[in-house]
Amino acid sequence: MVGLETFPANLESNLDVQTGAADGLAGTKRTQWPRGKYEGDDNNEYHIIRYCYVNQEAAEKLDCKLKEAIQLWHNAFGGRPGAASGHSLVMKEVPGWTRLAPDGTFVDEREYCFTAFNPGTRNGIWNSRVKNDVLAIEYDHSGRKSSTTGYTPENVLSINWRHQLRLGDSAGGVVAAHIIAHELGHVFGMLHEHQRKDRDNYVEYMPSNVNGFVAAMNRALTDIVPKPSPGDVVQKLRDDWEFANNYGFLGTQYIKGDKEPGNPIDDPSGFDYDSIMLYPSSFGSIPNNNACASDPRRCPLSKITKDKNGNVVKREHIRTKLTPSPKDAAFIKKYYPWPPIGAGQK
């Protein structure tokens, strides 16, 4: 049986809720996905993300939308992997098997990551026919979307279920393809654009507009002895991943450098307002926050323009991105170029 609570600490540090470009691979033990042959297709090597669904429900709920999201990335790359598009990234489901039905016909069966999986407890029995490094895709009943970042090699951690993609429904129904495309950005190795260390020149982050801020603030003020100043708590909820996480604050998703602040996450291509990894202004906001809709200063994140003295002279809403941007595609091609580079290389 496996469960999240069994993960050692170094993997926990990769388990983000949603966890130009913000580079989640530079300076970490994570790498791009390994290279290998794409069986039955040709003799070329590719960087292959092998995936399985944790159970039948996940496949039924998510397979169509996942393929739409992969298509969004393919469009951004300029087509399938090869010399023309300049990338070598393939997502491939773990091969299934065929069984003979009682009526004498052959039936194709999917290979799931688990032979038994309980979505409520998230416990299950890993399918021994599936390698331990595949990406396990799960339908999340609570509506949560999250993923691990990049690939964790065997020599860093060799346990089952270390690469995860969890997708739940959105308020309007089935999770949208562009949201899955954002999560795939994490799977490929990207962090949030607004977690770049240079982000304060481009966007303004207002933790007090994030849903749950007041509750997290109160938890910290009640818990810490001697009682800290409210200003100190605000600063830590804004800048300190461990602290924010400790007090259950969703603002962890905005903290510069994510939980590894020392890592060089700012890709030299520069800040990209069009990145699918940049949250729209209203994301994470207090529910029914009409104030955010009319005034970007009331949103968790807004686009800013500064004058030559560094003063903010304009704030605008950041729109929802429906496709990966050209710089998103360029970043992926850096780690997954054609022809592919060696596994574990950067």
Q: Which segment (15-23, 25-33, 164-172, 297-305) binds Zn ion by CB under 5 A?
A: 15-23
DSSP notation for 111-176: PPSEEEEETTTTEEEE-TTS-TTSEEEEEETT---EEE-SB--TTT---TT-EEEEEE-BTTBSPP
For residue 145 the two structure tokens come to 């979307």
CB of 25 to Zn ion, least distance (A): 15
For residue 328 the two structure tokens come to 């998103």
Give the separation between CA 256 and CA 238, rounded to whole angstroms.
9
CB 234 within 8 A of CB 205: no
Q: Which segment (17-25, 260-268, 284-292, 328-336) binds Zn ion by CB under 5 A?
A: 17-25
By beta-carbon proximity to Zn ion, the closer residue of 35 and 256 is 256
Give the separation between CA 281 and CA 46, rounded to whole angstroms.
36
CB of 304 to Zn ion, least distance (A): 21
By beta-carbon proximity to Zn ion, the closer residue of 18 and 88 is 18
Residues 112-141 that bind Zn ion (CB under 5 A): none
Residues 269-308 that bind Zn ion (CB under 5 A): none
By beta-carbon proximity to Zn ion, the closer residue of 88 and 149 is 149
Give the separation between CA 156 and CA 299, rounded to whole angstroms.
39
By beta-carbon proximity to Zn ion, the closer residue of 190 and 220 is 190
CB of 321 to Zn ion, least distance (A): 12
By beta-carbon proximity to Zn ion, the closer residue of 32 and 146 is 146
By beta-carbon proximity to Zn ion, the closer residue of 191 and 220 is 191
By beta-carbon proximity to Zn ion, the closer residue of 88 and 195 is 195
Q: Which segment (13-21, 40-48, 108-116, 280-288) binds Zn ion by CB under 5 A?
A: 13-21
By beta-carbon proximity to Zn ion, the closer residue of 18 and 285 is 18
CB of 189 to Zn ion, least distance (A): 12
CB 76 within 8 A of CB 325: yes
Give the phi and the psi of residue 102 in degrees, each rounded to 5: -55, -25
- Counting residues that bind Zn ion (by CB under 5 A) gives 1
Place of tokens 């944790």: 54
CB 70 within 8 A of CB 322: no
Give the separation between CA 144 and CA 210, rounded to whole angstroms.
16
CB 331 within 8 A of CB 324: no
CB of 191 to Zn ion, least distance (A): 8
Give 6's contacts (C-beta < 8 A, 6+ positions apart).
none
Q: Which segment (11-19, 173-181, 267-275, 333-341) binds Zn ion by CB under 5 A?
A: 11-19
Cα angle, residue 257 at apex, residues 253 and 260 outer, rounded to 5°:
105
Interface residue with Zn ion among 14, 18, 32, 275 (CB under 5 A) is 18
**x/- track of binding to Zn ion for residues 89-108 (CB under 5 A):** --------------------
CB of 182 to Zn ion, least distance (A): 5
Check binding of 149 to Zn ion (CB under 5 A).
Answer: no
* Residues engaged in binding Zn ion (CB under 5 A): 18
